[in-house]
Amino acid sequence: MTQPDHVWQQILGMVEDASEEVVIIAPFIKKAIFDETIAVVPSSVQKITCVTRWTPAEVAAGVSDPEIIEAAQSDDRISIALCPSLHAKLYRADGRCLVGSANLTGKATGRVPNANVELLLEVPIDHPEVQRVLCQINTRSTIATPHMAALVRQQAELLRSERVTPPSEDEAAPYWFPETRRPANVYALYSGRQRFTSLVEAGIVRDLAMLDVPAGLPEDAFNSEVEARLHAIPELGQLTTEQRLSNIELQRAIAERTGDTEDQARRTAETLAAWLQHFGRYYAEVGSWELRPGIEHA
C-alpha cells in the first residue's frame, strides 16, 4: 500500500541527489515544508529557484506562506519569484523533473493527517510541454521582495480579522467601495515605490485586501486587474450596463446600499469616480458630472 507521504518521499529523493540546481514551482507553498525541503538540498547545489504566487485571500486561508522569503534572505543560493497566473506544479533537480498536482504543503505531500490524493510523475526535462510551461513561467514572473511578502501578509491578516472573503471569479463582489482618495497611491505602495503615513497606508492596505490582486504584477497588469474588480461592484456594474453612470445615479445607488447620508454617498461616489478615471478609460465633467468611456487616464 502506498505510504501517506509518498509524494514527499518522491520530492526528497530527487532533491537530495541534486548537485547543481534545484527548482521548486508550485502555487501554494508552506514555510515549514519549504524549509524542510531546502534542508536536504546538498551544499554543492549553487542555485535554488522557487516560483510561486501570493494572493491575500489564499494567504488568509492558510494555504501559502509569504514568509518563505526569509529563506532567500538568509541563503544567497535561493531566489523566489512570483507568477500570478501560476497553476502548474513542477520540481526539478539537475536533469530530473517531477510534474503533477502536488503543491509544497503538508496536505499535498502527506506530511499531515487526512492528506490530499496527489500525483507526481517523473518526465524528461526536455519534454516539449515542460519547456513550454517553463518558458511561460519565466516570461510572467517577477522577483519577490520582502516588501511584497510583508504587504500580502498585512492584507491577509486584515481579511482574517474582519472575516471577509474577496470574491472568486464566479461570485459577486463583497460590500466594498474604495476609500483611498488618491488612486495613484495604491500602486505606489503595492510596488514598494513609495511609503505613506500609517493612516493613509491603512486605507490602501484595506483597498488592496478587498481587491485581492496577486502580488508581483507590473503596473499595466495591475491597472487592468483593478479595473475589472471595480466593474464587479454590483452598483457600478448595473449603472455601466444601463449607460447611466453619472454622479447622481452613482450617489443614489451607494446610498441605497449603505444607508449613508447624502454627503457620505457623494464622497464615496467621488472616490469611485477617481478610481475609474485612473484605472480605466473614463473622464468626468466638472460639476454635475457623468463618467464617459473612451478617454484613457493620463
50 and 141: one domain?
yes
238 and 181: one domain?
yes
Domain count, the chain: 2
278 or 252, greater pLDDT: 278
> End of a domain among 113, 145, 177?
145
pLDDT of residue 296 exceeding 50: no
Residue 170 pLDDT: 47
> End of a domain among 112, 145, 178?
145
136 and 173: one domain?
no
Lowest-confidence pick of 20-34, 47-61, 89-103, 267-281: 267-281
What value does the mean pLDDT of the chain take?
89
Residue 33, in any domain of the structure: yes
133 and 175: one domain?
no
80 and 32: one domain?
yes
217 and 276: one domain?
yes
104 and 202: one domain?
no
Residue 284, in any domain of the structure: yes
Range of the domain at 257: 166-293
| Confidence grade of residue 4 (pLDDT, cut at 50, 70, 90) | confident
Residue 225, in any domain of the structure: yes
Segment 74-87 shows an average pLDDT of 97
Instruction: Please report, for the domain that includes residue 101, its CATH number.
Output: 3.30.870.10
97 and 140: one domain?
yes
Residue 155, in any domain of the structure: no
| pTM of this structure | 0.88
Residue 150, in any domain of the structure: no
132 and 228: one domain?
no
173 and 88: one domain?
no
pLDDT of residue 132 exceeding 80: yes
Residue 87, in any domain of the structure: yes
Tens digits of residue pLDDT in 22-63: 999 999 999 999 999 999 999 999 999 999 999 999 999 999
Segment 232-259 shows an average pLDDT of 75
Residue 160, in any domain of the structure: no
Lowest-confidence pick of 23-32, 55-64, 183-192, 246-255: 246-255
86 and 131: one domain?
yes
171 and 267: one domain?
yes
Residue-wise DSSP of the chain? ---TTHHHHHHHHHHTT-SSEEEEE-S-B-HHHHHHHHHTS-TT--EEEEEE---HHHHHTTS--GGGHHHHHH-TTEEEEE-TT---EEEEETTEEEEES--BSHHHHT-SSS-----EEE--TT-HHHHHHHHHHHHH-EE--HHHHHHHHHHHHHHHHHT-----TTS---S-----S-THHHHHHHTTS----HHHHHHHHHHHHHHTPPTT--HHHHHHHHHHHHTTSHHHHHHHHTT--BHHHHHHHHHHHH---HHHHHHHHHHHHHHHHHHSSEEE-SSS-BEEET----
Residue 156, in any domain of the structure: no
